[in-house]
Amino acid sequence: MIALLPTLAEPQHFSLIEKLLFAVLALASVLAFWRRFGKILGKILKSKQDAGFPLFPLGWRIRDFVWEVLFQAKVVCERPLPGLAHAFVFWAFCAFALVTLNHCAVGLGIGFLSPAGRFGRFYFYCAAVFALTCTAGILLLFIRRFFFRPKWLGAKLSYQSGVIAFLIFALMATYLASFFVAGADPRARVLWWLHTLTLLVFLPLIPHTKHLHLVLSPVTVFLSRGSFSQIPPLVGDEDFGLVAGTDLTRLVSLQAYSCVECGRCTEHCPAANTGKLLNPKEIVLGLRGYLNDLGPASEEPLLGKYNAQEAVFQCTTCGACEYQCPVGIEHLPILVGLRRGAVNTGAWDDPHGSKLFLALERGSNALGISPTERDKFIEKQQLPLFDGTQEYCLWLGCMGAYDPKGREIVADFARVMNYLGASYGVLRKEKCTGDPVRRLGNDLLFQQLAEANLEILAQNKVKKIVSICPHCVRTIQEDWKEYGAPPEVEHHSEFLARYAGKLPQKGSGSESIVFHDPCYLGRYRNVFDEPRQVAALAGELVEAPRNHERSFCCGAGGGLAFLGEETGNRISHVRAAELSATGAATIATACPFCNTMFRDALSATGEGAPQLLDIAQLAARELPKGSSS
Amino acid sequence: MSGILVVLEERGGRISRFSWEAVAAGQRLGAQLDQPVSAIILGAETESLATEIAARPLAKVLRVEHPLLARYTADGFTQALQQLIQKEWPAHVVLPHSYQVRDYAPALAARFGEALIGDVVAIGDGPVFTRQLLQGRLNGVYRHTGSGPCFVSVQAGAFRAELSETADLQPAPISLFTPALDPAQIRTKPAEPFRGSAQTVDLASAQRIVSVGRGIREAENIPLVQELATALDAELAASRPICDAGWLPLERQVGSSGQTVSPRLYLAVGISGAIQHQVGMKGAQCIVAINKDPDAPIFEIADYGIVGDLFEVVPALTEAVKAAKL
Amino acid sequence: MKIVVAIKQVPERDAQFRIDAQAKWIEEADLQFTLNESDAYALEEALQLREQHGGEVIVLSAGPERVGTTLREALAKGADRAIHIDCDDLGARDALGVAKLLAAAIQPESPDLILTGLQSEDLGLGQTGVILAELLALPHASLILHVEKTETGLKVKRELEEGWFQTVELPTPAVLTIQSGGNKLRYATLMGIKRAKTKEVRRVTAAELAVDAAPVVVLERVALPQKQKSTQILPGTAKEAAEALVEKLKVEVRVL
């Protein structure tokens, strides 16, 4: 049996010249690293401070850091095999921290961890195990990138990645090889120098490549904004969003430099998947390019050379990008920030966008319809008016009040509430919650709508709201906080799930139902089970290939339902086809926008298309005949 | 100060139908106040027009003729009418509320320290004049309290042109009035009128639109509706699904992601009336809906509706329209 | 070019209203107010002219205190300064009386161009601009969709009935009444509102303008129209219904 000892760690009899050479090379490497990294750090620190960034409490930050960075949870869960391979590489890096330190100390003659000692030997053997897994991992990743060539990594081959992969391989190989060479053997010294040179070449390459994420991404994950799609408030009279470099904040700059170019955001983006210009990865890299070329003090517009305005307005704000990102980049505040910069300054000149804004400037709803239509609907459906005594205020929203499908959903939900004996009423007057204009970046209009609505709610003494629309729920609960204290609000799936036991259920052997997770209910609110509980009352559930937090957007969000024709394939058609392909008899939705989008898409399919029903309609269907509205 | 003067307009060499409605309004007023009703026509050559007017029961016909009145200008018409009114000194001046009248009548009234009571839909005892307020949601009753002539313009369609005719065999006397006009007084230079821009389809300015929706079922059936549109001298339009399917070009789409139209007549064939479509056409003056579903939302905003199979109704309608035109 | 745009604040379109106790007008207490639609187009035309030819855009409005909000909206959209004619009895004045007020306030400004919207959404008289021109002895044109500056003055595109148009040339100073739909309206932006904070709003009272207020036309009373819009479903066979419809189109709608 060969005495496998990590001779890389054995103190060698380095001559003074060798020690000096090492010291000089190490210094040069560190300087080269700092020359570039320092600049980047400078750009990040010179960026505007983030307003109201809540560093404390640290508890959840530490927890997320441990989960996402140390355990590599997102990296592995979202792309299992490559994720695990990367995890091995990462864990090897962590394990090698001491090894590398000791290695350098050895080069200066002051090695502190001896392989002869019990702890040292144990540690070095553990590190060898990590080195083996790392080698396997890096080989796998190399083969995947250069031979299988997944679409999401980009069409161009990244030689940078190849070089880095080689360097990592070399580090592990030289380490492992040293186990087979005796300390006195001259080859041990060669291996030592090979390992050292690899290290010293690697170090300065880090800030020059996307491997900057090695240094930055743990920080980025730790310094998350705090919640999903957290849109920061505007500060002062001159803040209009992300207009130019001077508006980029430290978090945005940090995130831009952390991008690993893995393409997971683009892989799940509904716009990128249907032939649009928008590519979330390119948005982030565009900002990075801007910072590299112009820096955070530049007045040149962010939208222009580095990112196209057209692309930014193709985003449905579905959040698949932000949800996926393993290095903690928060795409949504960036996209909304860029939109704000264009809209708050009047630079966005879109006929449909202007029409939407003008409709809300003059009227109460996003569809530009007379509010008397809402009154007529309430009267026709005999919906009770909220008078302060009922428990719930049923928020109709624009779709619930004016859209034929939305109205059907409200009517059926009201039937179920009546059956349950729930105490509720609808407001005499409502204005649009402002979701589309909030996502499009029109802060003036959003403020006006939020404040007007908060006033209405206060006057009517509303304590609890239930709504059929996840966009309304999100906007009321989170976005209105900037202008006041909104009451409790929940989605009708949460309400119905609570009473699922009291609602009639269909027997088994019934129709198959596929539930489509709305973006604003699933990813935004983490509500996945409740709507399924309700849908299960009416049939057998099947799942679409992309479900739960991987659900594929219907295409209506981000204000896009109000904008003009899409280029490329229709997002709604793609998703509708995916849902139909499950073979389910019924598609269940929990959002009136999803419902409208799929209705149009399915009508193009013609005969044989599945039924399309909201979960409220499914629940109402099972009610005994004669349940009144 | 007495008598009623009605100002008439010509269109295509003949007196416009709208003008006859104004005459009817004038006659109503005349009957109420027991005062004579006379007519005015302005222009450079008004002889044949005056003869046409004189066939109606009027006290007299006044030809206001001057070369500078060949083409309408606000200055020319205001000056000429001011002089005539000063001479005749009527109690009331009645005009049709046409684009042309809106351009000069307020100024003309102001010259007499008066304000035009415009776009009147009814004349009541007093006399009082009813106008529509708040986009037709409220009616206002106006009374003239000034000391000069009362200027009133009437809304198109509010008075029946036929009422201005009666079998009167005596033509009214015609007299000529030549106003004193100076070219320097005419400050605006109007050019020859022209049609809208040469687009293949201009739904926005179309007066009559026949619109087709999902009820048509197949592209092959669209010619059925096209025939009706042709018979009605209307533009063909469609709801979104039809254009999405490529059966009609996008420029014919009416709705929130298409055109917004406000024609005098909008005939929705096989269109359910989803909100997205409604916002594009609810400004139409008269909405007619043909749909086999009695609960279709389109019926809520339609003025007239036929609940039936469009494949039967549309051909029948085309027949009926053609017959009416004969 | 110095342009004055006369704007009016009107009740929000489609708002629910109640007739007041004296049946003279509607209760204003619960109403929301907004900028009159064709005035928004007039303002847009003025802003575009200023963008092309330089100059100043001044907005002017008569009415009670609440009119200030609409004036500030106009400033937010890009007007340079505003004049508020503080007047609590606008409803008691007729079109001539209102025009006299505006003329008195505009006269000292000596603008090159005065724009008004075609007509207001509440009273719908459509006369203010034309009377203003008369009072100020200026040439005018109405129902304008497009304005172009020329060597000698202006060339404007006027809308005629039934899809016809006409260009008219006239010298400046002049008055134009602007029809809706000629331009794309710009939306109010946050930047606009912030900038508007520093723009001047000059207040002048109706009394200071000392115009004769006695009306020659009086709105005696208001009432709801008798016929509410209701759908007439034409019964019978396809042939019967079709013939009934044609009859209606001929006689009631008068479109055949």
pLDDT tens-digit map of A349-365? 998 999 899 999 988 99
Can you give the pLDDT at residue A64?
92
In the predicted structure, residue A27 carries a pLDDT above the cut 90: yes
List, for residues C76-96, the tens digit of each pLDDT value: 999 999 999 999 999 899 999
Lowest mean pLDDT among A46-55, A103-112, A216-225, B37-46: A103-112
Can you give the pLDDT at residue A7?
60
Of A232, A179, A204, give the one whose Cα is nearest residue A31. Answer: A204
Of A378, B121, B136, B129, give the one whose Cα is nearest residue C228. Answer: B136
| 3-state DSSP percent of chain A in helix, strand and coil, to 5 | 60, 5, 35
List, for residues B154-172, the tens digit of each pLDDT value: 988 788 877 777 766 788 9
Give the mean model confidence (pLDDT) for residues A67-77. 92
DSSP reduced 3-state for C204: strand
* Interface contact B244-A564, CB threshold 8 A: no
Lowest mean pLDDT among A3-12, B169-178, C205-214: A3-12
Give the mean model confidence (pLDDT) for residues C97-102. 96
- Residue recorded with tokens 């109010």: C188
List, for residues A570-582, the tens digit of each pLDDT value: 999 999 999 999 9
Q: Which of A226-240, A362-376, B278-292 has the highest mean pLDDT?
A: A226-240
Q: Write out residues 163-222 of B within 8 Å (CB-CB) of C.
A: 187-196, 202, 204-208
Could you tell me if B142 and C215 are in contact, meaning their C-beta atoms sit under 8 angstroms apart? no
Handedness of CA C13, C18, C19, C21 (dihedral sign): negative
* Order of strands, sheet of B304-307, starting from the edge strand that comes earlier in the sequence: B235-238, B208-212, B265-269, B286-291, B304-307, C232-233
* Interface contact C163-B196, CB threshold 8 A: yes
> Which amino acid does the sequence have at C63?
G
Residues 6+ apart with CB under 8 A from A172: A92, A131, A132, A134, A135, A138
Can you give the pLDDT at residue A487?
97
* Interface contact A345-C13, CB threshold 8 A: no
Could you tell me if A312 and A321 are in contact, meaning their C-beta atoms sit under 8 angstroms apart? no
d(CA C135, CA C132): 5
B294: left (phi over 0), alpha (psi -120 to 50) or beta: alpha
Domain A504-621 top-level CATH class: alpha beta
Domain C2-209 has CATH 3.40.50.620: yes
In the predicted structure, residue A108 carries a pLDDT above the cut 90: no
- Work out the number of other CB atoms within 10 angstroms of the CB of residue A421: 8
As given in the structure block, the two tokens for residue A155 are 């069409």
Percent of chain B residues past pLDDT 90, beyond the cut:
68
Of B97, B89, B103, B104, give the one whose Cα is nearest residue B147. Answer: B89
Can you give the pLDDT at residue C44?
97
Long-range CB pairs of B174-178, under 8 A, 24+ apart, other chains included: B174/B50, B174/B51, B174/B54, B174/B60, B174/B61, B174/B62, B174/B63, B175/B60, B175/B61, B175/B62, B175/B63, B176/B62, B176/B63, B176/B65, B177/B62, B177/B63, B177/B64, B177/B65, B177/B83, B177/B84, B177/B87, B178/B64, B178/B65, B178/B66
Residues 6+ apart with CB under 8 A from B74: B103, B104, B107, B188, C130, C139, C140, C141
The CATH number of A245-343 is 1.10.1060
In the predicted structure, residue A1 carries a pLDDT above the cut 50: no
Can you give the pLDDT at residue C254?
80
Can you give the pLDDT at residue A190?
85
State the DSSP H helix or E strand holding residue B154, giving kind and residue range, or none if neither: strand B150-154
Residues 6+ apart with CB under 8 A from A323: A228, A268, A523, A549
List, for residues A452-485, the tens digit of each pLDDT value: 999 999 999 999 999 999 999 999 999 999 999 9
Residue of A nearest to C36 (CA): A362
Residues of B whose CB is below 8 A from C167: 190-191
Lowest mean pLDDT among A416-420, A589-593, C162-166: C162-166
In the predicted structure, residue B33 carries a pLDDT above the cut 90: yes
Of A200, B138, A603, give the one whose Cα is nearest residue C219. Answer: B138
As given in the structure block, the two tokens for residue A13 are 């009899």
Which partners does chain A have (≥3 C-beta pairs < 8 Å)? B, C
In the predicted structure, residue A5 carries a pLDDT above the cut 80: no
d(CA A542, CA A536): 10
* Interface contact C167-B309, CB threshold 8 A: no
Percent of chain A residues past pLDDT 90, beyond the cut:
72
Domain boundaries along the sequence of chain A:
7-222, 245-343, 366-498, 504-621
Of B194, B195, B186, B237, give the one whose Cα is nearest residue B216. Answer: B237
Can you give the pLDDT at residue A11?
52
Of C164, C224, C234, the CB nearest to B304: C234
List, for residues B80-124, the tens digit of each pLDDT value: 999 999 999 999 999 999 999 999 999 999 999 999 999 999 999
Q: Write out residues 283-312 of B within 8 Å (CB-CB) of C.
A: 285-286, 288, 299-309, 312
Residues of A whose CB is below 8 A from C14: 363, 370-372
In the predicted structure, residue B9 carries a pLDDT above the cut 60: yes
Q: Which residues pair with C2 in a beta bridge?
A: C56
d(CA B262, CA B280): 8
Is the ipTM here above 0.85?
A: yes
Lowest mean pLDDT among A340-349, A405-414, B270-279, B306-315: B270-279
As given in the structure block, the two tokens for residue A90 are 């990462």
Give the mean model confidence (pLDDT) for residues B233-244. 90
Can you give the pLDDT at residue B205?
77
The pTM for the full model equals 0.87
d(CA B32, CA A102): 114
In the predicted structure, residue B197 carries a pLDDT above the cut 70: no
* Interface contact C13-B135, CB threshold 8 A: yes
Check if A245-343 and A366-498 are the same fold.
Answer: no
* Interface contact A371-C186, CB threshold 8 A: no
* Interface contact B187-C133, CB threshold 8 A: no
Band the pLDDT of C6: cuts 50, 70, 90: very high
- Work out the number of other CB atoms within 10 angstroms of the CB of residue C142: 28
DSSP secondary structure, A291-303, as one string = HHHT-TT--SBSS
In the predicted structure, residue A408 carries a pLDDT above the cut 90: yes
The number of CA neighbours under 13 Å toward the Cβ of A544 is: 27
Strands of A160-219 (E only): list them.
none
d(CA A574, CA A567): 13
As given in the structure block, the two tokens for residue B316 are 């029948």
As given in the structure block, the two tokens for residue A123 are 């540690």
- Topology (CATH) of A366-498: Rossmann fold (3.40.50)
Residue of A nearest to C10 (CA): A362
* Interface contact B214-A603, CB threshold 8 A: yes
Domain boundaries along the sequence of chain C:
2-209, 230-256
Of B245, B272, B275, the CB nearest to A402: B275
Residues of B whose CB is below 8 A from C223: 138-139, 141
d(CA A357, CA A336): 16
Residues of B whose CB is below 8 A from C250: 324
Could you tell me if A536 and A564 are in contact, meaning their C-beta atoms sit under 8 angstroms apart? no
Give the mean model confidence (pLDDT) for residues B1-10. 94
Give the mean model confidence (pLDDT) for residues B237-245. 86
Lowest mean pLDDT among A74-88, A277-291, A496-510: A496-510
Band the pLDDT of A2: cuts 50, 70, 90: very low
Domain B203-325, architecture per CATH: 3-Layer(aba) Sandwich (3.40)
- Topology (CATH) of B4-185: Rossmann fold (3.40.50)
- Residue recorded with tokens 């604040």: C9
d(CA B135, CA B119): 12
* Interface contact C191-A363, CB threshold 8 A: no
First-to-last CA distance in chain B? 47
As given in the structure block, the two tokens for residue C39 are 């005035």
> Which amino acid does the sequence have at A343?
V
Scanning C31-66, the segments in alpha helix (DSSP H) are: 37-53
- Residue recorded with tokens 């709608």: C253
| B221 Cα to chain C: minimum distance (Å) | 18
d(CA A193, CA C190): 62
